[in-house]
Structure 1
Amino acid sequence: MKRLIGLLLLVLLASCQYFDNKKVYSEDLLQEELQTIDWNAVDEYPSFSSCDGVSGQDARRNCFQNTLLNHVNTYLAEQDLLAYDDVSDTISMKLSIDKMGALSILNLKVKESTSASIPKLDSLLRQSIVELPKVYPAIKRGQQVRTEFVLPIIIQID
């Protein structure tokens, strides 16, 4: 009987640790949450109103990129580009879209020969971005966020 009471007392004392509440600090929770977030990806890509009916993250990204590329190509096709030589180049246009949807060019990588052949190319590319329709910013965890990406533009003049 003493053994049974002793065993019961031992079980009760050992099980008390399961009722201890551990303090959870908000800073610890915040740091743990920040480590689980993939900061290089967004939940929703930037978008144009023409992409509203498209579902799926990859399809929306493709719609955005194609709309942007088509707009720039159409704008350049409407210009009277005078080239001194034949031009075959892929231009890398690094773009940024801020939280409000304002799009800006961060960097243009153009071969020197292309710049020499088409002197107005830089200003034409910048103007094509100014005339874009409204851009809706990317979304990350329900918040509008700033994004950067590179858009390749192929210039072919014979």
Structure 2
Amino acid sequence: MHKALIFLLLLSITSCDYFHVKKTSSEVILQEELEAFKWNEVDVYPNFASCGSDENNAGKKECFENTLIASIYDAFASENIIVTQDIQDTILVRFEISELGKLSLLEAKIDSVTTLEIPNMENILHKSLEGLPEIYPAIKRGQQVKTQFTLPIRIQVD
């Protein structure tokens, strides 16, 4: 009986550690979540209504970029551009898509020679955005989010 009592006493003293609950503060949980969160990536890329919804994320991104580039090239093709020298340039166009799916041109980095030869370059870029199909915004964690991206556009005029 004496041994059983000592055994129960030792068991009760050491068993308290098993019931000890480690408390984690909400700040620690938030910090861990922020560190794991990838700020520069979205779960679903922005997409045009004309692109298929059954494609994977990379396919949606490619379809979106190709549709946008085709619209810009069509706008340039419809203009009668006359230049005094050949132009082979790549312009970097920065766009933003709002949470509501509104596309806007933020900035176009255009070489000075190209700007001299085609002074209405930004007007043509703005015009190319007018006839685009409906845009579905990017999604991050189930929420529609604002996104910005830069698209290189190759301009070649002979």
> Shared topology, TM-score over 0.5?
yes
Q: Matches of 1:43 and 1:104 in 2, distance apart?
A: 21
**Does the CA-based 8 Å contact 1:84-1:118 persist in structure 2?**
no
Equivalent in the alignment of 1:38: 38
* Structure 1 unaligned blocks of 5 or more: none
Q: How does 1:50-129 map to 2 (within 5 A)?
A: 50-129=50-129
- Residues 46-67 of structure 1 show CA distances to partners (whole Å, capped at 9, x for unaligned) of 0001123342111111111111
- Secondary structure of 1:88's counterpart equals strand
* Structure 2 unaligned blocks of 5 or more: none
Q: Matches of 1:51 and 1:11 in 2, distance apart?
A: 67
TM-score, normalization by structure 2 = 0.90
- Residues 16-62 of structure 1 show CA distances to partners (whole Å, capped at 9, x for unaligned) of 22223444444433332222111110000000011233421111111
Q: Matches of 2:54 and 2:153 in 1, distance apart?
A: 24
- Secondary structure of 1:51's counterpart equals coil
- Pairs aligned (count): 158
Amino acid corresponding to residue 102 of structure 1 in structure 2: K
Moved more, 11-20 or 61-70: 11-20
Q: How does 1:3-42 map to 2 (within 5 A)?
A: 3-42=3-42
Percent of paired sites with the same residue: 42
Q: Matches of 2:19 and 2:8 in 1, distance apart?
A: 17
Q: Matches of 1:101 and 1:53 in 2, distance apart?
A: 16
Q: Matches of 1:3 and 1:42 in 2, distance apart?
A: 64
TM-score, normalization by structure 1 = 0.90
Q: Matches of 2:94 and 2:119 in 1, distance apart?
A: 20
- Secondary structure of 2:83's counterpart equals coil
Q: In angstroms, what is the RMSD of aligned CA positions?
A: 1.7
Q: Matches of 1:30 and 1:22 in 2, distance apart?
A: 17
